[in-house]
Chains A and B, each alone.
Chain A
């Protein structure tokens, strides 16, 4: 029987209350959002917080998707299911809809949250790459107010983010652009499994030229974004040759490891092929004014 190690428990009744509890208990405390990443790790004793602050009651306060000031603003407690079913997300950030379709399974998606996924920062987790490709920013709140961080600033590596001991992630902000398209491509062994590999692309076009392309990979030991691939695309007209060159750079720019999900060679092949497919779809969507 897998049961977490003992801990003290308190429910937060507001963001303010959660921050006060974090301030009081500092590094011993962890926030529990949807629980579908942290609880499994606690059951395996890979995580053993002494004090658990349950922020499930904040699902109302921090569960929202709205357009504001040229951004799509998503509350940290927004659940995967809400993201999957959102028309605004499908219209402006189709890459999120693509990813949500293949994140875990429908029952898990009823509970898991975007904030929990980003803060857990599992190397095979999808939304970190999705947000990085979209050039999203995240709002981190502490006693001294809010900090707005880019994904490269926020995501420091596997299981590590820039969120301090007495801070919490509040909101994800996705910039909106008039001619943009995005897509996510993932290979998994079966429904609900983590990615063998996945790639996200977000393309902005102006006058027939790619003004910016965000490329980010999942589960293959890549950086927060694939910088070389992004640079190869900027300023170029979209074409198969350009996409292939960028996909090659993305595949070269990662360091997958061999495990039960596949070999280094296979994962590198997927990184290249999935980047290529994501670029094709993202660009087609941008040209259709679809996303």
Chain B
């Protein structure tokens, strides 16, 4: 069946079996391998993408279900060659080690900041609680998201009020 999605602002289409999972559609049919394929059991969150703006474990949706919807992957985060503040935050705060969980973490952080531009540490930890960092680098991931909240340019979020960490 023909499946068409809007991914990172671009309309893309491929002919796939109905049983094709979204994560494989993105990686194998659309050649966007920034989305990682991890546990295959909806546990680890390495495959998280934004689906109509909300984090989704893409191993647990059929590509067919995603047809007609908007998807953002890690490749879509940087706009015009400029890193998203969450990406910059991961650099500033050493938010990644091996980087396997990073694409999913970045997208969940982006969705969190879009809804809540000034999240507390607790809110950040809750938001990423469905994603596993195999390096157990959670403290720096939380710091990276706080960095993004405090250093977000006005164009990224609606309010840019920064308070001390």
Contacts and interface: CB of A to CB of B under 8 A. Distances in A.
A35 B65 contact: yes
Given A3-B21, A9-B1, A106 B65 contact: no
Interface residues of A, number: 29
Given A42-B19, A104-B42, 20 more contacts: A1-B24, A2-B40, A3-B21, A8-B18, A9-B18, A9-B62, A9-B64, A35-B60, A35-B65, A36-B60, A43-B41, A52-B18, A105-B129, A105-B130, A106-B55, A106-B130, A108-B42, A110-B54, A111-B56, A191-B130
Contacts of A27: none
A104 B127 CA distance: 12
A107 B62 contact: no
Nearest to A42: B19
Given A43-B40, A106-B55, A192-B43, A4 B19 contact: yes
B35 to A, nearest CB: 14
A176 interface: no
Contacts of B121: none
B102 interface: no
Contact of A1 (B40, B42, B130): B40
A56 to B, nearest CB: 5
Interface in B1-29: 1, 17-21, 24
A8 B18 CA distance: 7
Interface residues of B, number: 29
Given A2-B40, A110-B55, A7 B19 contact: yes
B62 A40 contact: no
Interface of B: 1, 17-21, 24, 40-43, 45, 48, 51, 54-57, 60-62, 64-65, 108, 126-127, 129-131
A111 B61 contact: yes
Contacts of B17: 6
A106 B126 contact: yes
Interface string A94-137: 00000000001111101100000000000000000000000000
Nearest to A56: B65
A40 B41 contact: yes
Contacts of A35: 60-62, 65
19 contacts: A2-B40, A3-B20, A4-B19, A6-B19, A8-B18, A9-B18, A35-B61, A42-B19, A43-B21, A105-B129, A105-B131, A106-B126, A106-B127, A107-B56, A108-B57, A108-B60, A110-B55, A110-B56, A191-B129
